[in-house]
Amino acid sequence: MEELKKQAAIYRARFRTLVETQLDLLTQDGWEKLEPPESRARDNESRVREIVE
């Protein structure tokens, strides 16, 4: 029974983190402007290159 309680607590914590992350994404700017996925992919790729270099 204790193992089940432990697993439930872990699940609940992970689920809470997932939901909080999704809510953070929803509160970010940029939802009003529509961009094709390709432009976002290029932007992300250039950001990664900047960080690596």
What percent of the chain has pLDDT above 70?
70
Q: What is the pLDDT of residue 29?
A: 75
Distance (Å, whole) CA 3 – CA 53 = 46
Distance (Å, whole) CA 42 – CA 44 = 5
Answering whether pTM is above 0.85, one says: no
Q: How many domains does the chain have?
A: 1
Distance (Å, whole) CA 10 – CA 42 = 36
44: pLDDT strictly greater than 70: no
Distance (Å, whole) CA 19 – CA 8 = 16
Q: Domain range spanning residue 43?
A: 2-52
18: pLDDT strictly greater than 70: yes
In this structure, what DSSP letter does residue 33 have? S
* 8-27: average pLDDT: 92
Q: What is the pLDDT of residue 28?
A: 81
Q: Is 30 or 7 the better-scoring residue by pLDDT? A: 7
